[in-house]
Chain A
Amino acid sequence: MNAYLTAFQAIAGRELRQFIAQRGRFLSALVRPLVWLVIFAAGFRAALGVSIIPPYQTYITYEVYILPGLCAMVLLFNGMQSSLSLVYDREMGSMRLLLTAPLPRPWLLFSKLSAGVFVGALQVYAFLGVAALFGVSLSPEGYLLAIPAIILAGFMLGAFGLLISSVIRLIENFATVMNFVIFPMFFLSSALYPLWRMRESSVLLHDICALNPFTYVVELIRFSAYGSFAQLPLAVVLGCAVAFFTLSCLSYSPARTGPGMKSN
């Protein structure tokens, strides 16, 4: 096995061990979307009707509608958790060990990102399993068809987290990121309401949602889970994943790491 694969295995293994050790993280990843699914959706089911819109071929309940959005939410929070752990690693020093390894930094970052995606996908399927117990499920083939979309979405959101971690200098600043980036990203998307519903209340809000890449993450998962090919969401998610990862690599290059990466 060459040096690249050896390092990949070590970095991914470390991420997985950390995830297994943090039981609270896994529990939160399950509880957060379940609160939306079981409590929030129960209240909204009566108030919100969802008409027949692609990829659905019949009327659906509100719980069924928000299921893909909640999967995307799990991936979004997982990406932010990975980002937080990168900032923590930088503050605690262990990031230096990684960045002084004799391997290209993009490969080291890709290894970390891949492990994060795997952890995120595990969380999504654990959530889908529990959701099925509550009677909200996909078709058996839907679970399989959604895998590529979930992986790609995980890469995009993980790369976004990587980019944020390169910008955030202090762990204390993460609350700001949650309030001004993560929550708007989630609420201003098609995760909780269809875009046509949003247009009915505000054209401006609809347009913002239509520009939000997270909307396309949700739609990519939604269409894939129902066996439909969604060209625009695929293109947007793929493009954003490549762009975010490229920018992250540039941000983590020695020329850009700056005084925050001094050796003391």
Chain B
Amino acid sequence: MSALSVQNLSHVYGPKRALNDISFELEKGQFCALLGPNGAGKSTLFSLLARLIATQNGRVSVAGHDLKQAPLKALACMGIVFQQPTLDLEASVWRNMTYFAALHGLRGREAANRINGALDRLNMRNRSSEKVRALNGGHRRRMEIARALIHNPQVILLDEPTVGLDAQSRTAITQHVHDLAAEGITVLWATHLVDEIVPGDRVIILHHGEILRDCNVAEITQDCSLQEAFLRLTAAPEAAA
């Protein structure tokens, strides 16, 4: 059973086709980068996976739970970090974490233990009493990633989580998330920045709502850099297909 399965997913907004027959499967502990230029359909795909919008065609299942037939079970197995921050800036880190834990049915000592564990994983425990507004962008993102781990999800989705961060924060966050994959959490990481992808990662290149390539990074970097391969593929998708 795959951790995340997407089968024949299509989505339209009125006359505009945002996704066209997308299919892929991720195994447990796999880090998969969803690489695509702006407007490729990454955010639409994430909205469908997070059930913010309903699937029109196709099927999504998370840890064996169909998102349409058992949406609550599927959501319970998923941690999500949205591109736009979803933090209460006026509340402390701890307050933000307990609010999220409660939305997942966790409270009291169990919630506290899980929150401490998640903050430890991202080296954020010493910040727990600070107001979120006082944190820098990198720490806010780390906090959001820690928050997405509180309920021990099997799959974590991150939609361009490093947007607007400096190089140091980006590198640290990318490394943290790769570590999570090494611990057995399946990661789908949407980005348009190739330097966030390391050799050994799986990469899905999305362009104009279609998958151009789905392979290991090494396969498309034999004779050029990932950056060159990405630009070549997205410049002439029909030729690549």
Contacts and interface: CB of A to CB of B under 8 A. Distances in A.
B126 to A, nearest CB: 24
A14 B86 contact: no
B87 interface: yes
Interface in A76-120: 92-94, 96-104
B105 A2 contact: yes
Nearest to B76: A102
A7 B102 contact: yes
A14 B105 contact: no
A96 B85 contact: no
A9 B76 CA distance: 19
A7 B53 contact: no
Nearest to B72: A102
Nearest to B85: A93
Of the listed residues A99, A101, A262, the one surrounded by the most CB atoms of chain B closer than 10 A to its CB is A262
A254 interface: yes
Given A259-B13, A264-B43, A101 B103 contact: yes
A258 B83 contact: no
Contacts of B130: none
Interface residues of A, number: 34
A100 B75 contact: yes
B210 interface: no
A97 B86 contact: yes
Nearest to B45: A263
A175 interface: no
> Which of A10, A94, A102, A259 counts the most B-chain CB atoms under 10 A from its CB?
A102
A261 B105 contact: no
Contacts of B54: 253-255
Contacts, number: 100
B52 A6 contact: no
A11 B103 CA distance: 8
B103 A262 contact: no
A35 interface: no
Contacts of A97: 86, 100, 103
A39 interface: no
B120 to A, nearest CB: 22
A3 interface: yes
Contacts of A261: 47, 52-53
Contacts of A263: 43, 46-47, 50, 52, 80, 82-84, 159
A94 B86 contact: yes
Interface in A211-264: 253-255, 257-259, 261-264
A6 B51 contact: no
Contacts of B53: 254-255, 257-259, 261-262
Interface in B1-53: 13, 43-44, 46-47, 50-53
B160 A254 contact: no
Contacts of B104: 3, 101-102
B228 interface: no
Nearest to B90: A21
Interface in A1-30: 1-4, 6-7, 9-11, 14, 17, 21
B103 A10 contact: yes
Q: Which of B44, B51, B102, B160 has the most C-beta atoms of chain A within 10 angstroms of its own C-beta?
A: B102
A96 B52 contact: yes
B183 interface: no
23 contacts: A4-B105, A6-B102, A6-B105, A6-B107, A7-B105, A17-B91, A92-B84, A93-B85, A94-B88, A96-B84, A97-B86, A98-B103, A100-B75, A102-B75, A254-B53, A258-B13, A259-B13, A262-B43, A263-B80, A263-B82, A263-B159, A264-B43, A264-B160
What 8 A-B pairs have minimum CB-CB distances, sorted nearest first? Answer: A3-B105, A10-B102, A101-B103, A102-B76, A254-B54, A255-B54, A93-B84, A102-B75
Given A7-B103, A9-B107, A263-B159, 16 more contacts: A4-B105, A6-B102, A7-B105, A92-B84, A94-B87, A96-B50, A100-B50, A100-B51, A101-B75, A102-B75, A103-B103, A262-B44, A263-B43, A263-B52, A263-B84, A264-B160
